[in-house]
Amino acid sequence: MKNLLRIFFLLILFTGIQLNSNAAEKVEYLKTDWSFKGLFGKFDRAALQRGYQVYTEVCSSCHSMKYLSYRNLAEKGGPEFTEDQAKAIAASFEVKDGPNADGDMFTRPGKLSDKFVMPYENVKAAQAANGGAYPPDMSVLVKARGGGVDYIYSLLQGYEDPPEGVTLDDGVYYNKYMYGNKIKMSNQLSDGLVEYSDGTNATVEQMSKDVTTFLMWAAEPHLEARHQMGFKAIIYLIILTILVYFSMKRIWSRIKTEV
What's the CATH code of the domain at 48? 1.10.760.10
Higher-confidence residue: 12 or 143?
143
CA distance 259 to 88: 82
Alpha carbon 135 to its chain's center: 15
Domain check: are 59 and 182 in the same one? yes
Predicted confidence (pLDDT) at residue 4 exceeds the cutoff of 80: no
Write out pLDDT tens, residues 182-198: 999 999 999 999 999 99
Predicted confidence (pLDDT) at residue 5 exceeds the cutoff of 90: no
Beta carbons within 8 Å of 87's beta carbon, 6+ residues apart:
70, 111, 112
Q: Is residue 201 part of a domain?
A: yes
Domain check: are 62 and 160 in the same one? yes
Domain check: are 124 and 242 in the same one? no
CA distance 42 to 225: 9
Q: Which letter does DSSP use for residue 182 in this model? A: E
- pLDDT averaged over the chain? 87
Would you call 94 helix, strand, or coil by DSSP? Answer: strand
pLDDT, residue 259, reads: 52
Q: Summarize the confidence of residues 137-166 as an average pLDDT.
A: 94
pLDDT, residue 200, reads: 96
* Burial track 184-204 (b if 16+ CB lie within 10 A, e otherwise): ebeebbeeeebebeeeeebeb
Q: Are 90 and 109 in contact (CB under 8 A)?
A: yes
CA distance 45 to 68: 17
Range of the domain at 46: 30-68+115-219
CA distance 26 to 22: 6
Predicted confidence (pLDDT) at residue 17 exceeds the cutoff of 70: no
Q: Is residue 110 part of a domain?
A: no
pLDDT, residue 66, reads: 94
Q: Are 36 and 43 in contact (CB under 8 A)?
A: yes
Q: Are 208 and 159 in contact (CB under 8 A)?
A: no
Write out pLDDT tens, residues 201-222: 999 999 999 999 999 999 999 9
Residues of the chain above pLDDT 90, percent: 62
Q: Is residue 148 part of a domain?
A: yes
Domain count along the chain: 2
Domain check: are 165 and 56 in the same one? yes
Q: 27: pLDDT confidence band, cut at 50, 70 and 90?
A: confident
Q: Is residue 77 part of a domain?
A: no
CA distance 223 to 77: 8
Q: Is residue 75 part of a domain?
A: no
Q: Is residue 236 part of a domain?
A: yes
Write out pLDDT tens, residues 66-105: 999 999 999 999 999 999 999 999 999 999 998 888 888 9
Residues facing residue 183 across a β-bridge? 173
Q: Are 77 and 128 in contact (CB under 8 A)?
A: no
Domain check: are 137 and 231 in the same one? no
Q: Summarize the confidence of residues 157-179 as an average pLDDT.
A: 92
- In terms of DSSP bridges, do strands 106-109 and 173-174 run parallel, antiparallel, or are they unpaired? unpaired
Helices 204-219 and 148-155: crossing angle in degrees, nearest 10, is 150
Residues of the chain above pLDDT 70, percent: 88
Domain check: are 244 and 208 in the same one? no
Write out pLDDT tens, residues 29-76: 999 999 999 888 999 999 999 999 999 999 999 999 999 999 999 999
Q: 240: pLDDT confidence band, cut at 50, 70 and 90?
A: confident
Q: Summarize the confidence of residues 137-148 as an average pLDDT.
A: 92
Q: Summarize the confidence of residues 154-177 as an average pLDDT.
A: 93
pLDDT, residue 102, reads: 86
Backbone phi, psi, residue 175, to 5°? -140, 120
Domain check: are 52 and 136 in the same one? yes
